[in-house]
Amino acid sequence: MLSNILKRIVQNAMLSAAPDARQAEMNLAEAEDLDFTGLAPDGRRPEERAAAVLTDMTLEEKLIFVTGYKSLGIHPLPRHGLPSVWMTDATSGPRSYGATTAFPSAVAMAATWDPALVAEAADHIAESTRAKGASILLGPGVNIARIPTCGRNFEYMGEDPFLAGTLASAYVKACTERGVICTVKHMAANNSEYDRHKISSDLDERTLREIYLPAFEATVKTGKTPGLMSAYNPVNGVWASENRKLLTVILREEWEFDGIVVSDWDSLYSTSGPLKSGLDIEMPRARWLTPERVKAAFVTGDAREADLDRMAGNLLRTLFSAGVYDRPVKDPEAREFHPDHEAAALKAARAGIVLLKNENSALPLPRGPGITIAVCGPLAVDSAVLGGGSCHIARTTGTINLLEGLKKVAGSAAGSAEGTKIVHVSSGNLGRDSQTIEDADAVIITCGFNYMNESELYDRPWRLPRSQRKLIHRISRLNSRCIVTISAGGGVETESWVENVPALIHGMYLGQTVGTATAEILFGIVNPSGKLPFTMARKWNDIPAVRGYPRRYWTTSPGRIAAGQGNPRFRKVRHWRYSEGLMVGYRHFDTADIEPAFPFGHGLSYTSFFIENMQLSADTIGPEDSLDVTVRVKNTGKRFGSEVVQIYVADIESRLPRPVKELKGFTKLKLEPGESVEAVIHLDKRAFRYWDPGAGESGGSGGWTAEPGEFRILAGRGSRNIEAEAIVTLGSPESTSQPGA
Ligand code: BGC
């Protein structure tokens, strides 16, 4: 576990990496003081307006424009009447300008499996962003949870590219509608925080295309994101900030992205590389792109003025398109600190809680006169709102911890809960409280991590802290009705203690309503409906990606963290091979037939559901066709609930090896007891394809291949809980009907 000194150093490092909120507030005040009105809309298209400004800009203006302003801004262009533009972190709320409503972490949003709900949360976050005067939101993150311990998994949307891409697209669209530019991050293959500046993610083309890029691709093609952020790490030896293949060939030429690429903070390592490769702005300030350095590169011919024009042009066009220059810095109509924001945060938090285990009906908890619920563990009072780093929200508009949440919810239960006693038991004094624990009707043990030990900059342990594991063992000996709650951004080890407890919930990080949302699930006011967006392994060594990962990586020293962030001239880049290839998360566990502790897509409810009667829109489709899958879903239990229908596609035979099944569609349904509905899930042509490195013109550089043959279409309520299936044949182009493009 990290020592206190390390934590202090890390916090200081975070303060310099993540901009100071007070400084940022001063920046905004300054921007408001400037007498800019912006350009009034005049009927010209954004690209025309951008071109006109660009033509008029001096070299000096362009040089300054492509580097950050006061840590979180884009420079004003006074001669052109254009004000400074402000950015803010990030996905759970605009944290950079003082207090804000803390929404659930991105991974908890992913656990909702509900694009509409994610869009609703993003809409409120974007409104607060505009109320604060920022126009660029530095999120959401879609790096794949390759290993459970990555310190930033909580900022990302789980292990599956389709799930992450779908939900992040919903998020981005909602922000765009509010005039907020998202920068989807960190492109690409930024899957560990350990020595994040010094480790090259080395992976083959197929793995890159099928696992690590599709979520970015979806946010570009479906979400139409106006922005992206490059990563710290090199990819196959080339720094992400100057990776022409990623930032130009794939992003702009193949995916036709026409927005901006913002660098991650202090992630440039040369001058000419980023200039030539597709980056548009160096953040947070000019370091490698200083006017002197850039001009020197022009002189040596390492870069051209046209590169600078392209960068400035991309910035201007994107800002004009979003309307940034046609409105006041702060949107006077946008609401901030509004109860609606908190209500939306609570709604998302409820839906993101995953009930992993519930034996002997341990949950929901009983309520009523004479009932006593004990609560203990480190997170009962210091309930974790979010993980640490640039996504952490230190000043919320009011956090409800679990103890308060339990008291509030127990007391609010319309008469029936009257008399329910909530007792806080100090973890340090179990001896004194052992009788209380024994006598309690149930004991809640709050476990997991917080913003100190799960954060940007370093990875966290896989096992819960020893003190927490001991607590579970001791309390479960005193009372058999123990409920463990976990706060973490991904999987944790459960094998050594899970048999001792009848119920377990994973809350990820739930934002400021953590206490209320968790209490409502525990007492059954709300029926749980979250589904794991990652696999929880039984054994560490069952996860192939951890091979080659440093032993005792979590004991990383302050020196190593500093060096991992430090001067690039002293960095010796190490190469880590993603040797597991496509076999990430459930793709690996299901293909290798290894039983996980809790599978991807798993999540229990207080009611029961059943999926049956799958119908396909066609038995045979062509390579360019899509397919509609219809299933009947029934709530077979006694209470209202929501269920996620997950559609996996399994290629029965293929020339290149494929994972045994892959998620390609899902939908979340609300069902009254006894109700049954038909759900239709649309699979597009990509659902059947894989990346063939040998495809492309004259055996060229690869491409998406639709290989004729049979595919199993599987409908389940989890990756290991398949309840209906059918077979579709993918024919060659001539031999098929064309049911819908
Ligand atoms: C993070 C980014 C973040 C930026 C600004 C960096 O340390 O990697 O994700 O947006 O800081 O705070």
427 lines ligand 1 (CB under 6 A): no
User: 137 CA distance to ligand 1 centroid (A)?
Assistant: 11
Q: Residue 553: its pLDDT value, please?
A: 82
587 lines ligand 1 (CB under 6 A): no
138 lines ligand 1 (CB under 6 A): yes
Mean pLDDT of 537-552: 92
Q: Residue 7: its pLDDT value, please?
A: 54
Hey, whose CA ends up nearest to atom 2 of ligand 1? 264
At position 83, the amino acid (one-letter code) is P
Q: Residue 419: its pLDDT value, please?
A: 79
Closest CA to 356 of 491, 453, 481, 544: 491
Q: Which sign, positive or negative, has the C-alpha torsion 718, 543, 571, 296?
A: negative
Q: Is residue 640's pLDDT more than 70? A: yes
> pLDDT confidence of 562, banded at 50, 70, 90?
confident
pLDDT tens for residues 699-723?
Answer: 568 999 999 999 999 999 999 999 9
Helices (H), 70-112: 106-112
Q: Across the chain, what does the average pLDDT equal?
A: 92
185 lines ligand 1 (CB under 6 A): yes
Q: Is residue 19's pLDDT more than 60? A: no
- Residue among 390, 393, 561, 565 to mutate when testing ligand 1 (max atoms within 8 A of CB): 390
Residues of the chain with CATH 3.20.20.300: 22-31+45-326
Residue 186 alpha carbon, nearest atom of ligand 1: 9
Q: Provide the percentage of residues in the chain whose pLDDT is more than 70.
A: 91
User: Do the beta carbons of residue 405 and residue 519 sit within 8 Å?
Assistant: yes
> pLDDT confidence of 551, banded at 50, 70, 90?
confident
Q: Is residue 735's pLDDT more than 60? A: no
Q: Residue 35: its pLDDT value, please?
A: 45
Q: Residue 15: its pLDDT value, please?
A: 44
Residues of the chain with CATH 3.40.50.1700: 353-522
User: Do the beta carbons of residue 289 and residue 271 sit within 8 Å?
Assistant: yes
Q: Provide the percentage of residues in the chain whose pLDDT is more than 90.
A: 84
> pLDDT confidence of 739, banded at 50, 70, 90?
very low
> pLDDT confidence of 569, banded at 50, 70, 90?
low
- The edge-to-edge listing of strands for the beta sheet with 609-616 is 609-616, 627-635, 676-683
Partner residues linked to 505 by β-bridges? 355, 485
- Residue among 71, 264, 455, 458 to mutate when testing ligand 1 (max atoms within 8 A of CB): 264
Residues of the chain with CATH 2.60.40.10: 609-738
Asked about 202 being catalytic, the answer comes back as: no
240 lines ligand 1 (CB under 6 A): no
CATH class of 609-738: mainly beta
534 lines ligand 1 (CB under 6 A): no
User: Do the beta carbons of residue 384 and residue 514 sit within 8 Å?
Assistant: yes
Query: How crowded is residue 620: how many other Cβ atoms within 10 Å of its Cβ?
Result: 16
Quote the CATH superfamily of domain 22-31+45-326: Glycoside hydrolase, family 3, N-terminal domain (3.20.20.300)
CA–CA gap between residue 132 and residue 82 (Å, rounded) = 19
Q: Is residue 5's pLDDT more than 80? A: no
> pLDDT confidence of 9, banded at 50, 70, 90?
low
Fold for 353-522, please state it: Rossmann fold (3.40.50)
Q: Residue 701: its pLDDT value, please?
A: 81
Q: Residue 22: its pLDDT value, please?
A: 55
Hey, whose CA ends up nearest to atom 10 of ligand 1? 138
Hey, whose CA ends up nearest to atom 6 of ligand 1? 265
- Which residues lie below 8 Å from residue 8, measured CB to CB, with a gap of 6+? none
Hey, whose CA ends up nearest to atom 12 of ligand 1? 18
- Residue among 11, 14, 89 to mutate when testing ligand 1 (max atoms within 8 A of CB): 89
Mean pLDDT of 657-663: 98
- pTM beyond cutoff 0.85: yes
Active-site pick, 264, 266, 280, 459: 264
Q: Residue 734: its pLDDT value, please?
A: 60
136 lines ligand 1 (CB under 6 A): no
- What 8-state DSSP symbol labels residue 390? T
